[in-house]
Structure 1
């Protein structure tokens, strides 16, 4: 199963991606996390892994991919970036970090001033997700950049299910309405994770988000907050995140 997490900046997408990945791996599942946030340099630390080389370099770098895109699009040709399917164990070792049954890939990062937009990363992410074959006990989790640009790039096309992380803010509630519309247009099932939801904030969120689509409500956990602040690997089990992992395992078994 392939699941994508989205939401506004700072809502906790990467934190929850790392925690869900850990919970699934603790159940014996093979988990691949795809880091599709070009400005996030901390997800690998939360997972206790090294940051792998940008997958962009597998294709000769960003400049080379842009040239391929410029050649294909004016002619109306389909851009094809992979010549065969990958399974999680067969991903080229130079572009994946592994620890046990947990793996991490990074589509690409912004490294230099003035290097250009992130559009090539979106094109690559879309095809990468579609190119990975998953087995019986495999899960792919996609951590996206903030906002909704990835919907415009069609990154969600290869995913089975979408999660929106909603934090206690007016902007997040309004964004949930737009993402719901975009998910419907994409023909994808959308569910919500209410993050850092406590007290009055939790009450307001519960009024603005459909109850039947809320998978879990995650309060603030001091140990998770501290580890994230220090850039340490998440060690503690989070019961509210375990509910999300149980949900995914249950869906996959149907």
Structure 2
């Protein structure tokens, strides 16, 4: 199975929790191999996956020695020469942490030169994302910023879906429009909405009516277990067998996208 998903949404809609639970659920289905990518600088995918936060996780963008070795330039270099096609195929296995069949890889952000800079750090991140999406025969689920940072035209055609997570609040629904435009601008063909924290039929109807020109992949109800786990600082549904059927249903719908 080689499914590639990018998960986006306004801050606070629950996309990191959804990313972690989808990754864990898909790993349980037919023993799929899953790589979860933390590409949101303010997210904490490690906690959602139940990876011990006391275990050091150095973002790829901060692996200074590796970046210098692979690009031939020192991190932060804004001039001079360095390779635009660095070797990255070993990075997912060397620098990821794993639990319950899900590998976590933290991308990090480029701290200088702006989001569009051509520098060794951004070159490594883009090359790594290309490799993850185009070359890995695994399920790759990316927890993105509100936009589509790290994704470019080279990889967009191979992303099976860009998922805009929304809740009934207006601001999250407005964000879905922005996410769709960003995805369309780089050529992502399939952009879907996933409703989260839906309390009742009225909430579901509101999302359907206000985003009537979107494809809606499904809805997830508000779950007390998720709030409780967040308060306790643990991952929700720690026993994988207790993950609700609602997540399994959504996971299977995404897996079906890859075989359509």
Fold agreement, TM-score > 0.5: yes
Alignment map for 1:195-206 (pairs within 5 Å): 195-199=196-200, 200-206=202-208
1:248 maps to 254
Residues 1:37 and 2:47 aligned together: no
Structure 2: tracts of 5 or more residues without a match: 69-73
1:21 maps to 23
| Whole-angstrom CA distance in 1 between matches of 2:122 and 2:165 | 20
SS across alignment from 1:148: coil
Shift in alpha-carbon separation, 1:61–1:190, aligned structure 2, 3 A: same
Determine which of 224, 227, 235 is the counterpart of 2:226.
224
How far residue 148 of structure 1 moved from its aligned partner, in angstroms, is 2.4
| Whole-angstrom CA distance in 1 between matches of 2:28 and 2:79 | 45
Q: Deviations over 1:195-250 (max 9, x none)?
A: 11223433321211237611111111111221123221232312222122101221
Determine which of 52, 55, 62 is the counterpart of 1:57.
62
Q: Deviations over 1:33-70 (max 9, x none)?
A: 01011122x32122111352211233438994331xx2
Q: Is the 8 A contact 1:4 1:161 kept in 2?
A: yes
Alignment map for 1:107-146 (pairs within 5 Å): 107-108=107-108, 119=115, 124-132=124-132, 133-135=135-137, 138-145=138-145
How far residue 155 of structure 1 moved from its aligned partner, in angstroms, is 9.4
SS across alignment from 1:203: helix
How many residues align structurally?
A: 236
| Structure that is richer in helix per residue | 1
| Residues 210-219 or 54-63, more deviating | 54-63
The alignment yields a C-alpha RMSD, in angstroms, of 3.1
Alignment map for 1:90-101 (pairs within 5 Å): 91-93=92-94, 95-101=95-101
Structure 1: tracts of 5 or more residues without a match: none
1:176 maps to 176
Shift in alpha-carbon separation, 1:57–1:183, aligned structure 2, 3 A: closer
1:193 maps to 194
How far residue 183 of structure 1 moved from its aligned partner, in angstroms, is 2.3
Q: Is the 8 A contact 2:126 2:150 kept in 1?
A: no
Q: Is the 8 A contact 2:6 2:159 kept in 1?
A: yes
Q: Is the 8 A contact 1:122 1:150 kept in 2?
A: no
Q: Is the 8 A contact 2:23 2:36 kept in 1?
A: yes
TM-score by length of 2: 0.77
TM-score by length of 1: 0.79
